[in-house]
Structure 1
Amino acid sequence: MVKTSMSHEDYLEAIVMLGGTTDVAVRSVDVANKLGVSKASVNKAISALKEQALVVQPHYGDITLTEAGYAYGSSVLGRHRMLFDFLTKAVGIPADVAEDEACQMEHAISDESFEKWEAFVRSLKL
């Protein structure tokens, strides 16, 4: 999978969190609200994601993920959830802090390191 920027990963993750799939579209305004950004920022990011063939959006229409976009966004969300669970359940970090830190960590860890870390966490049966 080709990597995109951390910011664009956040957009893909947000679309998946909002229920977006290859069949279910989400509105730009909902993405903007979810991420706390302007609609103009969403439009700029979606344009870049369209160029990477990760989303489809008719002119000013709703946003639908491509298969690659859905797989990518789901992967980022999965990393986030596992990191959040580890930080809160295994380490005891408060949820609000863990939420922010999981978001930063999900982008920083390599795929290879994440796979090894994920296997370790699964062995803990959290």
Structure 2
Amino acid sequence: MAQALELTENVEMYLKYIYLLSQRSGGPAKTGEISEHLRVAPSSVTEMLEKLQDEGLAKHQKYQGASLTKKGRDVAVKILRRHCTMEYFLAQALGVPEGRYHDEACEMEHVLSEDTAQRLRKLVKQPETCPDCYDLEKLHCSYLVGKR
């Protein structure tokens, strides 16, 4: 029996970017776009997409790209919501500059428990529409623009 794919930081980053790229395009996320955003070789993307498909997290068609299953979307939305929560906390509560809060939130999103994230959301009064607010071009929650 094959061992289940562990939700490592790497796996979470793939799920997050497949979700964001699919949301932006309205269709499957292209291998080249995923490769570009994650700064990995296209062959590495293809390999991971096959693993995600085997785990029921994504659907991958060669030359067509990848889309997330419901299970994959649920995981991606949780990750992205934690990311937005951390950006909100870093920017609003701690005053971390715009040039840094994205990178730091990206590191923290993978280790933050859902309970702690929920407490932080209440503390910073994060809008319920997060993570639909995430701006892929600017790489941060669009609600943070002009908030400080």
Name the TM-score, length of structure 2 as normaliser.
0.72
- Deviation of residue 35 (structure 1)? 1.4
Match of 1:57 among 25, 50, 60: 60
Match of 2:48 among 45, 49, 58: 45
- Between the aligned partners of 1:81 and 1:3, the Cα distance in structure 2 is 23
Other-structure match for 2:113: 110
Other-structure match for 2:124: 121
Alignment root-mean-square deviation, CA: 2.3
Match of 1:78 among 76, 81, 90: 81
- Deviation of residue 87 (structure 1)? 0.9
Other-structure match for 1:97: 100
Greater relative CO (CA pairs within 8 A, separation 6+): 1
Other-structure match for 2:138: none
Aligned residues: 122
Per the alignment, do residues 107 and 101 of structure 1 end up closer, same or farther by CA in structure 2, a change over 3 Å counting?
Answer: same
Question: Going by fraction, where is helix more abundant, 1 or 2?
Answer: 1
- Deviation of residue 3 (structure 1)? 6.4
Equivalent position amino acid for 1:55 in 2: A
Counterparts of residues 21-40 of structure 1 (less than 5 Å): 24-40=27-43
Segments of 5+ residues of structure 1 without an aligned counterpart are none
- Between the aligned partners of 2:64 and 2:35, the Cα distance in structure 1 is 14
Identical positions, percent: 26
Q: Detail structure 1 runs of 4+ shifted over 4 Å in the superposition.
A: none
- Between the aligned partners of 1:8 and 1:20, the Cα distance in structure 2 is 18
- Deviation of residue 113 (structure 1)? 2.0
Segments of 5+ residues of structure 2 without an aligned counterpart are 127-146
Question: Going by fraction, where is strand more abundant, 1 or 2?
Answer: 2
